[in-house]
Structure 1
């Protein structure tokens, strides 16, 4: 035993000596290592099998002499217009062409057809919209048969059919929402009940691909026979993919240094891909992309959880998919492919180049005004072919920001530039006198900008004065005090939203109304569906509601049609016969059921029904010009049944909308079935005498008592008042809401008006006092709130304006909250 113990100690002693010696030798070796030596970095190499795909296409008419037919394989990460690969197709007959291509097995390929001679002519759908792309799953050797329905110079006029289907999870049998369905160059998204509809599909056999936007389900592909005016059904169950953790390790070129973060541009919606055509063909917004961690001077790392089997198209970038993205040594765009497997754990990649060949970098340094909100992001917007999506700059000091442009300046001539706030370059720009343009040169360049002001941020206004004379108003702990967000949030909302929600929370409010939208994409027959890039998809609405809840506010869902101008054209051009109305109610029902499911899953405090755009579909409905819409006699029955179906999926209160003043003489009968009334109420305040707050309290109160109170008494329902006055010299005019056109009428007059922040604050001061002083009014909502950026313009958003300070005082008082 003793011998064994001594032997063990002896072995341990020599082991320690050996370890110390090895460590010292390693350290010494590193000391004498030449500076350009580094630890070996082995790149991951993917050798994916390929299969031959034969593309066959039938044209609507023969090509003219001198034309070629091309197949275009699209790069959805760089942008579908920016880096295509084109293949000339061989002629089989006057209207039939083909080409054979080897493609990666299990890859999803986006493609389209075009004619080329002295100009390029892209294929169009039966609705005469340009085909953005077709989709193909390469699940082995394939023969794909397509038909081109139309060209831009050969519009379609012929018979069509439709595809209607349902998707469910193979294991749980539950419906699958937010799946993309592609066929014949068209796309739609499945609803919360798993249903989908593709309207206007050309006849013949069409390839149908069903794919998850985030790769979480296996992709389905099948041919579907389309017959004239017939519905082709597709009902399938899909397998949910398991996930695996993948670590990306990236080496940048030797000697390359930058202040910018490295991002992963990719084709997954959950990782920042827009699944839509954004500004000038952009496919993503830089600030939405995953960011790498810098682990060494030339090395970056990022770990992601990805579905096994997902087809990831990606590239490394210090901007977005186009600007500052990686290049080949010859200056071409680089896009990579990864078919995720359960053995995929570590991906090691080396970037060949980031700097445009033979062109120096362009460094933008910007000094911003002192009144720039400290929690805002400053962004650079570039114009190569049109204004593209904004790029977030890096803050380098107090009011100092920078961004270095490396590529692809060798492919572009002059580049126009401008600066904006929070990526909101459509409304939050700097002084246009600082805009400029620049072209790449062989040597580096520096653009120094000293911004003296932002547009709509230096409006002179008096210090906010709150009239605290509430006329005997006492605190009401059960009062609803809130804001309704503008329904038109930009696609960059995720990184800018929270500052607006923090401002709302700071006012003491308790409700935030959000408005998920669907777009009108077809008139006869009618079709409503979510359009990525225009409408927030269900994961976006859930994320938005989650952020609202995280700010200790209560989300409320108020579904709307996407665009009131489009809605007007829709109603004017629709058949509106008995069959049309039945189809319309069925498809609007899908939209509302989705929102009931969203209200349930987000634990929303209420669901609001009665979008003013839907006035023509109410009993005694009217069009925008005042003509009758000839809605069915049983319109109220449709709405009452809808409310019954909504209650089956959402257990919270359902609130009905009334717009006042209104050109509609009678209110819909279905209001008897709701729990409360949300009255959109912005009456004229012109007859307010000296325009003092107290004079306006009287004017607003008289309007409420004459227009709103009789309705409250008739229906014995609690009333919530929602107002929407601009910070403009025309604010006193108010408006008559005609099919959701109140704001549009205001906007058409704003160009001839001046900003008047004080007038807006006095109107809101009066309106909240008059509302809260009436016990039959249970809540007050400020509508049109844009949470993404402070703009002191003529618009109705009160974010950062004196009216929000007025509401801060009264919301705290009414709800008896301490500051």
Structure 2
């Protein structure tokens, strides 16, 4: 394995200067932390399995995991470097962890695939210096190719004591796996060549590990390495909300870590963040919210504020597009001040959905709303009103809600415990109007037990 792969004499680093202000004491400081990022030029190069037809574009797709992988990508057209190699240059903040893949600019787009014909979910790389990233695309279709392949396997341990680390995400060439309880991992069908090997702990308990690995045809490449434990600091997030925010509504901080709701598994509609697993912020009488979290030094935190999840009721930019924020955690306690511009995509009024559940529903259970505009999406926690009533106001996006199906669930277990709605006498109903408040009543909860099989 090789470590030094980031040197290139014609690359540059440039600086964006911002203020860094500290304040101590019991009073809330007037100013908080302001990042001073250093940017590095990063060149992405992709070598294709074969030349593409004239007029077909190749694009780099940088993915937004917090908003759902397929909903808010940023795409960059790549230029032809050789017969089958394309490239693009981007300035990226040092310390960033980038999730990306390559796509054909067809309609609809065609994402790169592995040897088995599965879509590449994402590749990962951490940016520490100016660098040329050289990737190999295995296939665009579920077709066999002449490219060789090999196996990467090994162990991940704590670099301070050699104790195995379980549940570490290990990625190479767009393929992923997790370490077992013994720290062992194996990834098969890795394309022959030199690739970036990256290991990432879901909670940030360990610093990101990255180096190059060379895969030989038909061979097993060993990879035994240690990860350095992270140091943690306190980060206080303080955010001001738009005037149309319902007073005291549960506001969540969603992000790319386990403790910020990231499940690191693919839920419905390519989403990975589950709102019910994200922390709820503390409401203040002036309409602002705050929360203090212990976060790992040096880690790239991608986050957003939401009254729902990463897609529904998530904060928006002025133009209505989804917002995702970035913070590379410094080595000291900080206060971050943010302002939510809007919850809305347009000038449409939000839709309120209100439901009364059976009095027999245990008080310690939560109620969620699951929406199906074209596929069942992750359940959204509703807001408890008391007296067995729950409410959720949906600010955005509203354009996909017309004629969408919905259902109510207990404890986010929509496949096993859903409510029979009085108006439809069914477990589902349809949104027929966006202009009126929907008022429902659950007659009873329908319990579906998991299917079991018995052996002989």
Q: Is the 8 A contact 2:113 2:142 kept in 1?
A: no
Q: Is the 8 A contact 2:409 2:417 kept in 1?
A: yes
Distance in 1 of aligned mates of 2:29 and 2:295: 27
Q: Is the 8 A contact 1:134 1:182 kept in 2?
A: yes
Q: Which residue of 1 aligns with 2:21?
A: none
Q: Which residue of 2 aligns with 1:260?
A: 249
Q: Which residue of 2 aligns with 1:452?
A: 443
TM-score if structure 1 supplies the norm length?
0.50
* Structure 1 residue matching 2:259: 3-state secondary structure: helix
Shift of 1:186: 0.7
Q: Which residue of 2 aligns with 1:400?
A: 389
CA RMSD of aligned residues (A): 2.3
Q: Which residue of 2 aligns with 1:389?
A: 378
Distance in 1 of aligned mates of 2:400 and 2:134: 35
Q: Is the 8 A contact 1:108 1:135 kept in 2?
A: yes
Q: Which residue of 2 aligns with 1:438?
A: 431
The structure carrying a bigger strand percent of its residues is 2
Q: How does 1:144-543 map to 2 (within 5 A)?
A: 144-156=133-145, 158-410=147-399, 414-431=403-420, 433=424, 435-438=428-431, 445-456=436-447
Q: Is the 8 A contact 1:419 1:429 kept in 2?
A: yes
Do residues 75 (structure 1) and 64 (structure 2) align?
yes
* Structure 1 residue matching 2:269: 3-state secondary structure: helix
Distance in 1 of aligned mates of 2:204 and 2:292: 17
For 1:311-348, what per-residue CA distance to the aligned partner results, in whole angstroms no more than 9, with x for missing partners? 11000111111111111111110101111111341111
The structure carrying a bigger helix percent of its residues is 1
Distance in 2 of aligned mates of 1:326 and 1:255: 13
Distance in 1 of aligned mates of 2:318 and 2:335: 24
Distance in 1 of aligned mates of 2:446 and 2:144: 43
Q: Which residue of 1 aligns with 2:118?
A: 129
Distance in 1 of aligned mates of 2:173 and 2:52: 20
Shift of 1:104: 1.1
Relative to structure 1, is the Cα distance of residues 193 and 453 closer, same or farther in structure 2, using a 3 angstrom cutoff? closer
Structure with bigger gyration radius: 1
Q: Is the 8 A contact 1:106 1:139 kept in 2?
A: yes
Shift of 1:456: 4.2
Do residues 119 (structure 1) and 108 (structure 2) align?
yes
Deviates more, 1:307-316 or 1:267-276: 267-276
Q: Is the 8 A contact 2:205 2:296 kept in 1?
A: yes
Do residues 142 (structure 1) and 131 (structure 2) align?
yes
Q: How does 1:723-738 map to 2 (within 5 A)?
A: 737-738=455-456
Relative to structure 1, is the Cα distance of residues 455 and 192 closer, same or farther in structure 2, using a 3 angstrom cutoff? closer
Distance in 2 of aligned mates of 1:409 and 1:155: 43
Relative to structure 1, is the Cα distance of residues 90 and 164 closer, same or farther in structure 2, using a 3 angstrom cutoff? same
For 1:158-182, what per-residue CA distance to the aligned partner results, in whole angstroms no more than 9, with x for missing partners? 5310111222222222222221111
For 1:578-636, what per-residue CA distance to the aligned partner results, in whole angstroms no more than 9, with x for missing partners? xxxxxxxxxxxxxxxxxxxxxxxxxxxxxxxxxxxxxxxxxxxxxxxxxxxxxxxxxxx
Distance in 2 of aligned mates of 1:138 and 1:40: 32
Shift of 1:454: 2.7
Distance in 2 of aligned mates of 1:409 and 1:141: 42
Distance in 2 of aligned mates of 1:279 and 1:152: 23
Q: Is the 8 A contact 2:281 2:290 kept in 1?
A: yes
Distance in 2 of aligned mates of 1:411 and 1:436: 15
Distance in 2 of aligned mates of 1:314 and 1:65: 40
Structure 1, gaps ≥5 residues long: 1-38, 458-485, 489-723, 727-734, 739-819
Distance in 2 of aligned mates of 1:405 and 1:305: 30
